[in-house]
Amino acid sequence: MTCDLAPSILSFDLTDIRQSVRTLVASGASIVHLDVMDGQFVPPITFGDSYTKSLRSCTDALFEAHLMVNTPEHQFEAFAAAGCGRIIFHAEATVHSHRLIQRLRTMNVEPGIAINPGTPVEAVLPVLDMVDIVLVMTVNPGWGGQVFISSALEKVRRIRDLRPNVHIEVDGGIDPHTLPMAREAGANVFVVGSHLARSAELAQATKEIVALCG
């Protein structure tokens, strides 16, 4: 199973991100993690499909939309058209996760499902065989720079025991200290935002994190 770094651009300067994206990918990041917030599912509003599309020419790396929005299916077409090869929606944001995964599959988009720290693994058990990736939030969604919630790792362990081959992504508070713990629990995709955004030397910091991914 591959291990991937998926930098979140949320904590970078969003008006001046193109060179940072190129540096992240040139330094070993294989996925660009795009945090989409609607001011409803979570309080902040970030950006939408047009901003995402404007970044698409920076890199060929996989674009992964993390939709922290209600009625996520309203965004599927737009984010796929903007160049997202993977779309992750929240189990808490819909009562139709099974159907939405089917929908993404028919669109040839890799489907993913996310769960908040307060949501049990049971919420995704019925669809575990249908998704490419399960995103286990290790902070409450909405903001970068929060403290890692270690109790979420128990959910990672449980999902890994049940499904050796599904991608398990951890998102929130991941840095050189917490990444190894998440990896040991069974995660293989690591979202890193503020740790990289505040680094003095982005290429070097990215390479260090990639080395920890293994």
- Interacting residues with ligand DX5 (CB under 6 A): 8, 10-11, 33, 35, 66, 139, 141-142, 144-146, 171-174, 191-195
Entry field: residues in the chain = 214
Positions marked catalytic: 35, 171
11 binds, among Zn ion, ligand DX5, none (CB under 5 to 8 A by kind): ligand DX5
Is 169 an interacting residue with respect to Zn ion (CB under 5 A)? no
The encoded tokens of residue 91 equal: 């189990």
Beta strands 110-115 and 167-171: pairing type?
unpaired
C-alpha to C-alpha distances, 50 to 7, 45, 104, 210, nearest whole angstrom: 20, 14, 20, 29
CB 44, min distance to Zn ion, A: 12
C-alpha to C-alpha distances, 114 to 94, 130, 135, 139, 208, nearest whole angstrom: 11, 13, 4, 12, 26
Q: Which of 66, 155, 167, 183 binds Zn ion (CB under 5 A)?
A: 66
CB 6, min distance to Zn ion, A: 8
For Zn ion, the closer CB: 38 or 171: 171
Are 26 and 63 within 8 A, CB to CB? no
30 binds, among ligand DX5, Zn ion, none (CB under 5 to 8 A by kind): none
Only one residue has tokens 């159907």, namely 99
CB 106, min distance to ligand DX5, A: 26
Residues of the shown chain interacting with Zn ion in the complex, contacts defined by CB under 5 A? 35, 66, 171
